[in-house]
Structure 1
């Protein structure tokens, strides 16, 4: 007697490009982030949301090796994170800081030339994402607007051939129009380059519109997390979590808090 198979082909689990497990990290031995769990896969965008002082930048610094973990682990590209920032950068873990990291006295061209790697993308490749920079190649960076400097900062990061791109406060000091132009471009880059992106952002709605998943931090703890689509549908709860009006879940703090 013959039998037909009824079970479906098992799904292949895609491991995260960046995995943060039980992370505690801070300054002078005092944790600014506690028991954080988060991950992002290649081609996905994880948005870290929360007010000033919530621990978002601290998380990014730990994720590139600039701050040592007090406890917990960070795994990047299948291996433990190195304690040296430069070693992690060579592996493709690149941070765009909120200061943008551009040299104001140098030209756009010189900034890009200094950032380019031997076997990385060409300048023309990054101009495809930021065509407005083509006409600014000879201009000193200090004469650019905030939005133009942020484009340059992202272009410099792309020249480093990142596999994991961490962007701190992309919209800081920018007009709403500039932000609305840059965030979709970041989504395009993640899709085209199959790149894992962690985005720290103050604009909740815009961040959730391009992200795949999100974590809301408050006082160093994750108070809400889930798919960006779900969180957009629960905007009232997201705002409550953002301002600390949602009680912190006990135990595993990942996952959207239970609805009342």
Structure 2
């Protein structure tokens, strides 16, 4: 069966579909020569949030790492802003492809202010704008990162990423270690950021319903293959199909195997 490809109705000025800012074209990628993701084809457009769902080991983190150039593809092509990604992560970051890893990538011995200063970049998002999205960080400016709560650390990780003014923001397990109430607070902020900054977001998330509530489109991976793909609205309406695809059960999932 042909691998499902995510598509949406994202347009620019009503003149037709906007060009994707991140594209996977039949990408196979893995570790030490062993494929973890097979024949993946997805497009993500400006202002779109794509939820990448699936159980542990499905290939979600591998997908994000390949998008920033941290893992070489075995076959297929990944392009960002219409150009193949570079094999060097820092070059892709300068082009606007930014990853918030599941460990958040913070300097725990430094203050909130110092963490943000290290992330600032010429031509990046002004820090005042970042504080508007995460006002609590302004009150914590002098506090050492290691003394922040899990939710505060995740805010700081997102704020650091926004300072680079990314065109594509990749977030690995935003909710890891956080109470659901904190996730319910952070996800709407992410939706607002994507809309206001016209920024594409690929969100790896275990809270399926919360992710689908703010996403435009979604992909469910199972054993490295797309088991289900479509608009978030469709997947919310067919929650039983999402669950079947997530757990690899027959009857509802568009399993390419």
**Alignment TM-score, normalising by the size of structure 2:** 0.92
Paired residue secondary structure (1:173): coil
Q: Of residues 191, 195, 211 in structure 2, which corresponds to 1:187? A: 191
Paired residue secondary structure (1:181): helix
Q: Of residues 198, 205, 222 in structure 2, which corresponds to 1:201? A: 205
Alignment match, 1:3: none
Q: Of residues 26, 35, 43 in structure 1, which corresponds to 2:30? A: 26
Q: How does 1:217-232 map to 2 (within 5 A)?
A: 217-232=221-236
Paired residue secondary structure (2:125): coil
Say if 2:162 is the partner of 1:158: yes
Paired residue secondary structure (1:231): helix
**Alignment TM-score, normalising by the size of structure 1:** 0.91
Larger of the two Rg values belongs to structure: 1
Aligned positions, number: 242
Does the CA contact (< 8 Å) of 2:28 and 2:37 recur in 1? yes
Q: Of residues 23, 29, 49 in structure 1, which corresponds to 2:53? A: 49
Q: Counterparts of 2:59 and 2:175 in 1: how far apart (Å)?
A: 17
Q: Counterparts of 1:155 and 1:53 in 2: how far apart (Å)?
A: 28
Q: How does 1:96-175 map to 2 (within 5 A)?
A: 96-175=100-179
Kindly state the Cα deviation for residue 12 of structure 1 after the two structures are TM-superposed.
2.1
Does the CA contact (< 8 Å) of 2:245 and 2:255 recur in 1? no
Does the CA contact (< 8 Å) of 2:25 and 2:41 recur in 1? yes
Q: Counterparts of 2:24 and 2:53 in 1: how far apart (Å)?
A: 16
Say if 2:21 is the partner of 1:17: yes
Say if 2:65 is the partner of 1:65: no
Q: Of residues 228, 236, 239 in structure 2, which corresponds to 1:235? A: 239
Q: Counterparts of 1:233 and 1:11 in 2: how far apart (Å)?
A: 29
Paired residue secondary structure (2:20): coil
Q: Counterparts of 1:239 and 1:248 in 2: how far apart (Å)?
A: 12
Kindly state the Cα deviation for residue 11 of structure 1 after the two structures are TM-superposed.
4.8
Alignment match, 1:214: 218
Q: Of residues 79, 83, 92 in structure 2, which corresponds to 1:79? A: 83
After superposition, the C-alpha distances for 1:86-142 in whole angstroms (9 at most, x for unaligned) are 100000100000000011000000000000012212221100000011110000000
Paired residue secondary structure (1:66): coil
- Name whichever of 120-129 and 93-102 sits farther off: 120-129
Q: Counterparts of 1:162 and 1:14 in 2: how far apart (Å)?
A: 17
